[in-house]
Structure 1
Amino acid sequence: MSTTRREVLAKSGVLGAGIAFAGSIPEVFAGTAQAQGTGGGDGYGPLVEDPDGVLDLPKGFRYKVLSREGDDLRSGEGKVPSNHDGMAAFSGGHGHGGGHRHEEHARARGRGQGHDSVWLVRNHENRMDAKIGVPTVDGLTYDPEGKGGCTVLELDGDNDVRQERVGIAGTSTNCAGGHTLWNTWLTCEETEFKAGEEGYTKDHGFIFEVPFGDRHRTVPEPLTAMGRFQHEAIAIDPGTGVVYETEDAFESPFGLFYRFLPKRPRGGFDSLRAGGRLEAMRVPGVADLSVVQETGRTFHGIEWVEVPDPLARETPIRHQDFGRKGMTHAQKLEGCYWGGRCVYFVSSFAKSDEGSAADHYGQIWRYDPEGNHLTLVVVFGPDTDLQLPGEEPDNICLAPSGGLMVCEDGEGAQHVFGLTRRGKVYPMARGRQDIGTPEEPAWGEFAGVTFSPDCRTMYVNCYTPGTTFAVTGPWRH
């Protein structure tokens, strides 16, 4: 997409006019606390240009830079690493990281209640060529040659940083993840490199558990039963403890959608190490989700097939033999979250020239475990002008007003978009840190959008240059 075109749209105020979100938007929030809210209006007005050239926000909102790559970690362990990606916020009201509540419960009960502190757990999607890797720390490092990992920030009630330290090191390409039922973070490696490849000394492509506060210390060993593949995100069914996992594979055949049935589904910190069964989803008659274009289309009788070799010792899981029927693949499986009684997952895009069966600009799918059916809920994309933004949704989170916040991962100008329950799209933030040249400006994508447990602050990362923001203002609830 033309950067010049995108900049003209942004400056003219037309930005966002052609975004289309087809489908039953309220269905995305059915059964959640947000669905009981007022709907939050149609946004917060146009973006106001930041005189400091960092972050444009609507009138009445303000930002605070919490952390930048290259600065010193307050722990003294080294520099703030590069490539800020997935993130989650937890209540630190008890001082040891035990106060986190799931998003929908937090929004139902946390309005108007402050917290002594908030913990942010932040991924760093660092590969071997990362500008600044996560510092290796004794007792927290999995593979000393890995540059990825997580950092942990503790914030006070004014969003001032009390501490910032390494949560886990020696991993690779930590993209997204998700929170557990017992208030820890599962960080996901989006890679499949094995020991001896690219300079690594251990196999990669795993999920790791990262606690925060002072109650637990990270165990830098992978949760191997949850599979070795190009992980993206997870979401956990609070009723059963089943963990759903997305795979963002970079080449055809693309990723699968998984579920992990743990032996100890609600056992607490480190309980997932007890193992369980990993299964992949098969939609009868559908080999590639990209061919489904009609919102509301529902598939019944979903099959879950046990993964032959979760460790992918010889063959990547998506290439393994699941039987003559084959499996159901999808390109760019990204965000994953639990809402009400269903799990939702995002396919950022599909491109036939890259190997998908059909093209689309982004989808949200809903799987209902009780009814065992899968529904295409939302389709993203430009309405009439293909030069307009709105494609490639990446990280998403539920917003205080009863909608979604979506990190757009496309070309040109980069935004956080809001989506109301009525289907209205509005710009919430625009990155202004130019990482290009005067002739060809460029901006780093947003990632890791999440809200504080009291719904008063939106936290979001700029991937490059690695920057973590706290955004406050007149949020509607």
Structure 2
Amino acid sequence: MSATRRQILAAGIVFTGAVSELFAGSASAAALGGHAGYGPLLPDPAGLLDLPAGFSYTVLSRQGDPLRSGEGLVPSNHDGMAAFPGRRGRVHLVRNHENRVTGKIGVPTVEGLTYDPAAKGGCTALELDGRNRVLGERVAVAGTAVNCAGGPTPWNTWLTCEETEDRAGTNGYTKDHGFVFEVDGADPRRTGAVPLTAMGRFQHEAVAVDPRSGIVYETEDAFQHPFGLFYRFLPAKPLGGTGSLRAGGALEAMRVPGVPDLSVIQETGARFEGVEWVPVPDPSAATTPIRLQDFGPRGITHAQKLEGCYWGAGRAGGPGSVYFVSSFARAKDGSGATHFGQVWKYEPHRRRLTLVVVFGPDTDIQLPGESPDNICLTPSGGLMVCEDGDGAQHVYGVNRKGEVYAVARGAQNIGTPDAPEWGEFAGVTFSPDGRTMYVNCYTPGTTFAVTGPWR
């Protein structure tokens, strides 16, 4: 998180820049330009989730309940998530569990689906019918570590990312960690528990796939100096389903000529032509973390706390762009400047990088104040941001005018009556038909399906 809630209320946060850039490629995005939300949030009598009038929720799953497969208990630390279409109108939800080695309910080990039995992270998969009734819930991959975010593929699988670089023998692990794993929510055994080692071993956060080329863009969430890199993976067999990524490929890191640290760029609209991609010397990081490796005399471009990543389709069927988020930067940590969040746009066909949105100190305390994290585009062209910080936790929407409105507020007090606390939101995603928003509360792990008059 970028700051405490108390600091945010004192300083405020505001968007600057071309917020409309975030909605590029959505044919119906203009419909969001005329409203700023769905009205005030109403207290939930059940004390779980506050929503606007006309909206309702269903609890799909809670940590500690039995998995319907009988494989064990629903794991804790619900994080990144995506929804995929199934047969006969069904929906497959694939959900991350950001578990480390101790302290929480781990993902049960299942034969054929477990990478490292000592690791407690992984994914579970839910199957829903057209009315959001749970038909099944099972382990999708186990024995992975710190599964924070990831991203969907054009062939309807989920890429789950380990946000750790721990090696075998560290924290009790029996295998190296820091990889991406592919998960098929409809048939987990088709993908198994195979690390996609060619995609690099580092503190992964999120990925986005170019649906034309099959290139996978990856963010590295490193908040300590030296900071993370922005990567692209060139699969040896593009767009071939699960086999394409397992077939290996080349990993490269982004170099912006003359810019070793993205945090120093503060002017929205700042544009850099001729972006370069440099081969990663050792993607396996056998002896040296990738961000510390020798990229030659011209170096490489770093950024603090790279997190969310998504693909924006081009207008009128044109080439698209990849957007990625720097959640914050702090000069005291070694960044070249301090900011409360940036959103960058990279246009592969132009080799152009543009800073499109900055979050920074100002006066409007109504804006989401705990730095941007994973960003979800809605089917109707909106933008959803999960809040992660101190104080009350919200899911915020943003329209094309940059107006921010609350969609949901967590009501599960995990503190005390005198010192209340609420778990962060994570994994916001929409059903394939756009009628349901799915979202996780990280603690206590709870998955909600929210329905109502979505525009």
For Structure 1 versus Structure 2, the TM-score category normalised by the shorter chain is over 0.9
One-letter amino acid of the structure 2 residue matched with residue 220 of structure 1: A
CA deviations 1:314-367 (Å, max 9, x no partner) are 000000000111111111111110001000001111111222211111111000
CA contact (8 A) 2:275 2:353 kept: yes
CA deviations 1:268-290 (Å, max 9, x no partner) are 12321111100000111111111
Residues 1:396 and 2:375 are matched in the alignment: yes
CA deviations 1:60-81 (Å, max 9, x no partner) are 1111111000000000000000
| TM-score, normalization by structure 2 | 0.94
Pairwise mapping of residues 52-451 of structure 1 onto structure 2 (< 5 A)?
A: 52-93=46-87, 116-214=89-187, 217-340=190-313, 341-384=320-363, 389-451=368-430
One-letter amino acid of the structure 1 residue matched with residue 418 of structure 2: E
Task: State the superposition RMSD in angstroms.
Answer: 2.0
Change beyond 3 A, Cα 1:119–1:462: same
One-letter amino acid of the structure 1 residue matched with residue 202 of structure 2: F
SS at match of 1:270: helix
Pairwise mapping of residues 14-33 of structure 1 onto structure 2 (< 5 A)?
A: 19-33=13-27
SS at match of 1:33: coil
**CA distance, structure 1, for counterparts of residue 197 and residue 4 of structure 2:** 43
**Aligned residue number for residue 451 of structure 2:** 472
CA contact (8 A) 1:235 1:245 kept: yes
**CA distance, structure 1, for counterparts of residue 409 and residue 23 of structure 2:** 25
CA contact (8 A) 1:380 1:391 kept: no
Change beyond 3 A, Cα 1:322–1:3: closer
CA contact (8 A) 1:362 1:381 kept: yes
One-letter amino acid of the structure 2 residue matched with residue 123 of structure 1: N
**CA distance, structure 2, for counterparts of residue 457 and residue 386 of structure 1:** 29
Identity between Structure 1 and Structure 2 (%): 72
**Aligned residue number for residue 113 of structure 1:** none
Q: CA deviation at 1:439?
A: 3.3
Give the stretch that moved more between structures: 429-438 or 83-92: 429-438
Q: CA deviation at 1:461?
A: 0.4
**CA distance, structure 2, for counterparts of residue 33 and residue 452 of structure 1:** 18
Q: CA deviation at 1:383?
A: 2.7
**CA distance, structure 1, for counterparts of residue 301 and residue 322 of structure 2:** 17
Give the stretch that moved more between structures: 313-322 or 207-216: 207-216
Q: CA deviation at 1:251?
A: 1.2
One-letter amino acid of the structure 2 residue matched with residue 453 of structure 1: P
**CA distance, structure 1, for counterparts of residue 34 and residue 61 of structure 2:** 30
Q: CA deviation at 1:203?
A: 0.3
SS at match of 1:39: helix
**CA distance, structure 2, for counterparts of residue 470 and residue 44 of structure 1:** 17
Change beyond 3 A, Cα 1:157–1:466: same
Change beyond 3 A, Cα 1:269–1:240: same
Q: CA deviation at 1:54?
A: 1.0
Q: Number of paired residues?
A: 447
Q: CA deviation at 1:388?
A: 7.3
Change beyond 3 A, Cα 1:42–1:388: closer
CA contact (8 A) 1:39 1:403 kept: no
**CA distance, structure 1, for counterparts of residue 211 and residue 19 of structure 2:** 23
SS at match of 2:376: strand
One-letter amino acid of the structure 2 residue matched with residue 424 of structure 1: E
SS at match of 2:340: coil
Change beyond 3 A, Cα 1:193–1:34: farther
Q: CA deviation at 1:385?
A: 6.3
**CA distance, structure 2, for counterparts of residue 247 and residue 155 of structure 1:** 32
CA deviations 1:127-170 (Å, max 9, x no partner) are 01241000000010000101000000001111111000000000
| TM-score, normalization by structure 1 | 0.90
**CA distance, structure 1, for counterparts of residue 103 and residue 244 of structure 2:** 32
Q: CA deviation at 1:386?
A: 7.3
Q: CA deviation at 1:31?
A: 2.5
Q: CA deviation at 1:217?
A: 2.2
Change beyond 3 A, Cα 1:321–1:435: same
Change beyond 3 A, Cα 1:265–1:236: same
Change beyond 3 A, Cα 1:391–1:449: same
Change beyond 3 A, Cα 1:404–1:389: closer
**Consecutive aligned runs of 4 or more in structure 1 exceeding 4 Å deviation:** 1-6, 385-389
**CA distance, structure 2, for counterparts of residue 238 and residue 370 of structure 1:** 14
Q: CA deviation at 1:37?
A: 4.1
**CA distance, structure 1, for counterparts of residue 365 and residue 266 of structure 2:** 17
One-letter amino acid of the structure 2 residue matched with residue 88 of structure 1: A
**Structure 1 portions without partners, runs of 5+:** 10-14, 95-115
**CA distance, structure 2, for counterparts of residue 3 and residue 390 of structure 1:** 7
Change beyond 3 A, Cα 1:372–1:136: same
Give the stretch that moved more between structures: 17-26 or 127-136: 17-26
Q: CA deviation at 1:400?
A: 3.6
Give the stretch that moved more between structures: 378-387 or 266-275: 378-387
Change beyond 3 A, Cα 1:40–1:448: farther
